[in-house]
């Protein structure tokens, strides 16, 4: 039985977009938690920490996100760990995102002049205190625009979770298209909903960037 593509389907798509946002938020928090560790490990005066974190970044950035999704979804059950699509997607996106945020934030940390570290050290601040009170507060300004830019990418990339059956906006679109035989109308609607989520964020990112340029 073929039904029409109507307002009720649009409402279902918007409802599914909540899962896109939920996955984005979870993945962003996971990426941020691992990313901050990676970023700091990359700049420590302790070679093994730098080496390990650099290797992590190279491996993650050198492999497709889609493959990470499959590895988490199909691989972990082989190891006896049962995963649902939600958990597999959250972990895969966190791993993927942490490598990118780690690099973005490392860049922000090293953009702060070496003399700021020295000024902190000369006052008797420990390495952690220099980071906490001198370096991190200054690098946040630098990090905000690219971090928001990353968030926009993350929202769009969560559509990949559809392939492991996680019902978010894109998966809901596939289901609706299959039921209504109106793929064009459905996917245009899906695209419009993604745009409605991403556009305000990229505008916000741009306005922050402009403000920081003026302040500089």
Question: Rule CB under 8 A: is residue 121 a binding residue for other proteins?
Answer: yes
Please identify, using beta-carbon distances, which residue of 112 and 167 lies nearer to other proteins: 112
Sign of CA dihedral 46, 47, 52, 54: positive
DSSP-assigned letter for residue 2 = P
The two tokens of residue 136 are 């991190």
- How far is residue 132's CA from residue 36's CA, in Å, rounded to a whole number? 12
Q: Which of 15, 59, 67, 123 is in the footprint of other proteins by CB under 8 A?
A: 123
The contacts of residue 156 (CB under 8 Å, 6+ apart) are 194, 198
129 binds other proteins (CB under 8 A): yes
Q: Is 134 in the site for other proteins (CB under 8 A)?
A: yes
138 near other proteins (CB under 8 A): yes
* Token pair recorded at residue 216: 């500089």
Query: Which among 43-51, 75-83, 113-121, 142-150 is the span making contact with other proteins, rule CB under 8 A?
Result: 113-121
Told to check if 45 binds other proteins by CB under 8 A, we report no
As measured in angstroms, the least distance from the Cβ of 204 to other proteins is 22
């Amino acid at each position: 039985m073929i039904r029409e593509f109507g307002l009720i389907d649009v409402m279902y798509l918007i409802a599914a977009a909540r899962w896109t946002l939920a996955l984005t938020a979870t993945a962003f928090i996971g990426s941020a938690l691992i990313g901050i560790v990676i970023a700091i490990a990359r700049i420590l005066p302790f070679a093994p920490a730098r080496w390990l974190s650099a290797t992590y970044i190279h491996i993650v950035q050198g492999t497709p996100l889609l493959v990470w999704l499959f590895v988490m979804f199909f691989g972990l059950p082989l190891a006896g760990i049962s995963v649902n699509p939600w958990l597999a997607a959250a972990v895969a996106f966190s791993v993927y995102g942490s490598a990118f945020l780690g690099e973005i934030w490392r860049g922000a940390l090293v953009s702060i002049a070496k003399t700021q570290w020295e000024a902190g050290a000369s006052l008797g601040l420990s390495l952690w205190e220099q980071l906490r009170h001198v370096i991190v507060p200054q690098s946040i300004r630098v990090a905000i625009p690219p971090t928001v830019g990353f968030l926009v990418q993350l929202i769009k990339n969560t559509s990949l979770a559809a392939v492991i059956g996680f019902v978010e906006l894109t998966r809901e679109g596939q289901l609706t298209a299959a039921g209504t035989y109106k793929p064009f109308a459905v996917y245009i609607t899906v695209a419009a909903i993604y745009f409605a989520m991403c556009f305000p964020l990229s505008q916000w990112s741009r306005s922050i960037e402009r403000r920081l340029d003026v302040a500089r």
